[in-house]
Amino acid sequence: MTSVMSAVVPGQRLGHVQEYIAGPGTYSHQDFLYASVVGLKQVTTADGDERPTLSVARENTQTAIPEIDAIVTCKVVRVNPKFASVNIMVVDGKPCTDNFQGIIRSQDVRATEKDKVKIYNSFRPGDIVRAQVISLGDARSYYLSTALNELGVIYGTSIAGGTLVPISWQEMQCTKTKVIEPRKCAKPM
């Protein structure tokens, strides 16, 4: 059960730690819970919890940033024998205002026969790929994986410029010229 209450701003004191559990958009400091974003205060009571959860639903949503395990949609920028570089554009269905860089290493493309993966037969520049964040990676890039059935290329363009449609989990066909191109396809959910 969720009840929406008043609008709050960061720093506003919301309640005592003994009464509530700190939810998203809040933090606890000493004995009290405070809001950390602008939004509407919500109290959620779930069965089994001894205390209700206090959270603040953001009104002005912060731009999405990739987090571990998040499903992201990204565009392949360049490929080389070891990995594909991508721009992360959407995180958990929410577009991020600026791109974040990510890479899909050849061992993270699929779950089986990892050593036989050829990046060029999995992704091509311009492909739109659904992937999962597996680690925060190095200073520059997030590390992504497509080693699940529903992950992989979801939209691509053939060499001739036609749209590609998946015909198996590792092949796509151009709608214009019927040429078949290899890809690590995502299974439609």
Between 48 and 116, CB nearer to other proteins: 116
The structure tokens listed for 69 are 């395990």
- For the bound state, the minimum distance from the C-beta of residue 134 to other proteins, rounded and expressed in Å, comes to 15
**Minimum CB distance to other proteins smaller for 27 or for 46:** 27
The residue ranges that bind other proteins (CB under 8 A) are 7, 9-13, 25, 27, 29, 34, 36-40, 58-63, 65, 73, 75-81, 89-90, 93-101, 120, 124-126, 128, 130, 136, 138-140, 154-155, 160, 163, 165-166, 176-177, 186, 188-189
- C-beta of 112: minimal distance to other proteins in Å? 23
- What is the nearest approach in angstroms of other proteins to the Cβ of residue 47? 29
CA 108 to chain centre: 16
Contact 65, 100 (CB under 8 A): yes
For other proteins, the closer of residues 5 and 9 by Cβ is: 9
Spatial CB neighbours of 47, under 8 Å, sequence gap ≥ 6: none
CA separation for the pair 69, 66 (Å, rounded):
9
Q: How far is the CB of 126 from other proteins (least distance, A)?
A: 5
Residue number, 46 or 165, with CB nearest to other proteins: 165
- Beta strands at 94-105 and 142-145: parallel, antiparallel or unpaired: parallel
CA angle 85-175-188, nearest 5°? 60
Dihedral (CA of 48, 54, 59, 60) sign: negative
| Phi, psi (rounded to 5 degrees) for 43 | -120, 120
Smallest separation (angstroms) from other proteins to the CB of 94:
7
